[in-house]
């Protein structure tokens, strides 16, 4: 049973020591990720299940899981974690099946989905500019912020691949897992620094807001990051 969830991106810049001196855009993103994870942890899950994408010929652990581990460590979380990888080329049906399997677990689960949007938003983006990238990301933001999991499952797989959307498969796993929940979305960040779209969204029940401030304080203390608390 999934009681809370969060979606965070997995750029290597979030790994410890990757930027040397702090970079403002990266620290803003990190702050948002810690806020989303704090909201997830406020639900007191028995286990955190991490869903990460696996690229062809990627070494172990894949980048998605490495970043998830780093963020959870920064959040001060040291309890049970289960890691699930999905090929970035997996079909929607395969993703739904994986998501339903996660949701069928009897434990109280916090679901952490590691997923990036398009990587072709600007001329300096990793995949160069594609004018279809911003509309794709705008549509995806609407779907994620409204918990429209049916819409997530209808994403154009071919177009997502062309736009280098590494998170398409992990988000569709989330769609399979969260389809029958009533968790409410909070968008913590939705920007495209470096030409890649990085949405950060958390999902929790209405009761979670009573606990999030206390948990977020613990997270930020553990990570020694001074940030502004998100508003509900």
Express each pLDDT in 174-213 by its tens digit. Answer: 999 999 999 999 999 999 999 999 999 999 987 555 444 4
Interstrand relation of 47-54 and 198-204 (parallel, antiparallel or unpaired): unpaired
Tens of pLDDT, residues 124-164: 999 999 999 999 999 999 999 999 999 999 999 999 999 99
Q: Are 8 and 34 in contact (CB under 8 A)?
A: no
Residue 12 tokens read as 């290597």
> pLDDT value at position 186?
97
> pLDDT value at position 207?
57
Closest C-alpha to 230, from 175, 178, 197, 185: 185
Say yes or no to pLDDT of 222 above 90.
Answer: no
Question: Mean pLDDT of all residues in the chain?
Answer: 90
Closest C-alpha to 49, from 22, 79, 20, 83: 83
Give DSSP secondary structure letters for the chain: -EEEEEEE---GGGSTTSSSS--HHHHHHHHHHHHHHHHHHTT--SEEEEEEEE-TTPPSSPHHHHHHHHHHHHTT--S-EEEEEEETT--HHHHHHHHHHHHT-SS-EEEEEE----S-SSTTSTT---TTHHHHHHHHHHHHHTT-HHHHHTS-HHHHHHTT-TTHHHHHHHHHHHTT--PEEEEEEEE-GGG--EEEEEEE-GGGHHHHHHHHHHHHHHHT---PPPP-
> pLDDT value at position 208?
53
Say yes or no to pLDDT of 33 above 80.
Answer: yes
Q: Domain spans of the chain? A: 2-223
Span 115-128, average pLDDT: 96
Predicted confidence band of residue 225 (pLDDT cuts 50, 70, 90): very low
Say yes or no to pLDDT of 219 above 60.
Answer: no
Q: Are 32 and 9 in contact (CB under 8 A)?
A: no
Between CA 174 and CA 172 the distance in angstroms is 5
Closest C-alpha to 117, from 194, 230, 36, 26: 194
pTM, full prediction: 0.88
Between CA 163 and CA 221 the distance in angstroms is 37
Fold that domain 2-223 belongs to in CATH: Protocatechuate 4,5-dioxygenase; Chain B (3.40.830)
Say yes or no to pLDDT of 166 above 90.
Answer: yes
Tens of pLDDT, residues 47-91: 999 999 999 888 889 999 999 999 999 999 999 999 999 999 999
> pLDDT value at position 22?
84
């Amino acid at each position: 049973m999934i009681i809370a969830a969060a979606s965070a991106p997995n750029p290597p810049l979030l790994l410890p020591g990757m930027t040397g001196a702090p970079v403002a855009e990266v620290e803003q993103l990190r702050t948002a990720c810690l806020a989303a994870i704090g909201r997830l942890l406020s639900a007191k899950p028995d286990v955190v299940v991490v869903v990460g994408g696996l690229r062809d010929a990627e070494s172990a652990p894949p980048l998605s899981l490495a970043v998830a581990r780093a963020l959870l460590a920064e959040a001060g979380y040291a309890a049970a974690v289960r890691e699930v990888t999905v090929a970035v080329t997996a079909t929607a049906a395969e993703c739904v099946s994986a998501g339903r399997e996660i949701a069928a677990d009897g434990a109280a689960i916090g679901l952490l989905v590691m997923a990036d949007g398009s990587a072709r938003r600007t001329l300096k983006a990793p995949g160069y500019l594609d004018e279809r990238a911003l509309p794709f990301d705008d549509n995806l933001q609407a779907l994620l912020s409204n918990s429209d999991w049916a819409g997530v499952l209808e994403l154009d797989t071919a177009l997502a691949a062309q736009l280098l959307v590494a998170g398409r498969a992990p988000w569709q796993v989330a769609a399979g897992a969260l389809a029958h929940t009533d968790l409410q979305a909070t968008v913590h960040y939705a920007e495209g620094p470096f030409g890649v779209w990085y949405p950060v969204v958390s999902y929790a029940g209405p009761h979670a807001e009573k606990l999030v401030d206390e948990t977020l304080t613990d997270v930020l203390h553990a990570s020694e990051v001074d940030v502004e608390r998100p508003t509900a």
